[in-house]
Amino acid sequence: MDRLKQILNLRKEFKKYHINTLITFHHGIFPRVYLASFLLNIKNIVSERNSLSNYKYIKLNKYNLGFFSLYLANKITIQLESYSNDYPFLLRKKIFVINNIIKRPLKSHKMPNIEQNIVSMAGRLCDQKNFTPLLNQLNFDKTKDLRIIIAGEGHLRRKLEKDYEDLIKESSLILKGNIKDIDKFLSNSSIFCFPSLWEGFPNSLAEALRMGMPIVTSTRMKYLNEFVEHNVNGLIVEDDNLLSSIKKLIKNKSKLISMSKESFRKYKELSKSRPVDEWVKLVELVNF
């Protein structure tokens, strides 16, 4: 009943404001929005904010009502070109690639603090961000010559505090919580580790590139060529090799320097996109 009321209320609003174009997130809400706009001559754009690889890690089957509703959309936006191959052929012609809006690049490259054995990670403390493989490896490592600092909050904080109590006591792990100055946070570390299970547009990774951070990431992210290339501006490795790869890289200062410069170069390329212009172009296209 609540969903039916929502659909009817949305339909009233669409009529009241003479809406002709709707941009809607996909999961959960789009089928309702489509029903609310049915026969109102409204163009529907579905904004997919995740790669479809997320279905490998959640309970919902990929081929569900919400997924099939994509065939009813006029256009589908995704955040990276590489995601388009995950969609059925008949949906690909509806796809329009629009990156996230990101900050302007720094005026010049700034070297992060490569003299410190500090690894930074950032994101919500949730399963998707997959912080535990690296933390587990550090927990069983005998040398304890690294410090990991995580910026972000989430429902897993208490579990992380309990599971890695010894690391926290030794200051080998710091759960920083939400932070105000991401630039300062990143520049105080040597390497940015990015082990996510899936992403849409990886904002924290983009922030790390902006600050010239060498990257260590999972093979799940190997399609993110715009962000990371193996042995160019980072290392792309299996989860089991995260810590060993970080320890090896952190000792190679010349490699860290070259990777830092390459990360900054990649960010400058990313920043050339014009997402606002692309959104305007798309809205004009569907209404042509």
Average pLDDT of the chain, as a whole number: 94
- Tokens representing 264 are 């900054």
41: closest CA among 23, 65, 57, 21?
Answer: 21
pLDDT interval class at 247 (50, 70, 90): very high
Q: Starting from the edge strand earliest in sequence, which strands make up the sheet with 43-47, in order?
A: 21-25, 43-47, 75-78, 95-97
Q: How far apart are CA 171 and CA 137, in angstroms?
A: 16
**Counting every residue, how long is the chain?**
288
In Å, what is the CA distance from 262 to each residue of 51, 176, 190, 209, 268? 25, 27, 15, 9, 10
Residues 12-22, mean pLDDT to the nearest whole number: 95
Stated pTM of the model: 0.91
Does position 230 have pLDDT exceeding 80, yes or no? yes
Q: What is the pLDDT of residue 191?
A: 97
Does position 222 have pLDDT exceeding 80, yes or no? yes
Q: How far apart are CA 270 and CA 265, in angstroms?
A: 9
Does position 142 have pLDDT exceeding 90, yes or no? no
152 sits in the region (left: phi over 0; alpha: psi -120 to 50; else beta) called: left
pLDDT interval class at 188 (50, 70, 90): very high
Exposed / middle / buried, residue 151 (Cβ in 10 Å: 0-12, 13-18, 19+): buried
Q: What is the pLDDT of residue 286?
A: 93
Does position 232 have pLDDT exceeding 80, yes or no? yes
Q: What is the pLDDT of residue 11?
A: 95
Q: What is the pLDDT of residue 49?
A: 87
pLDDT interval class at 27 (50, 70, 90): confident
Residues 193-201, mean pLDDT to the nearest whole number: 95
pLDDT tens sequence across 55-109: 888 888 888 888 899 999 999 999 999 999 999 999 999 999 999 999 999 999 9
pLDDT tens sequence across 33-55: 999 999 999 999 999 988 888 88
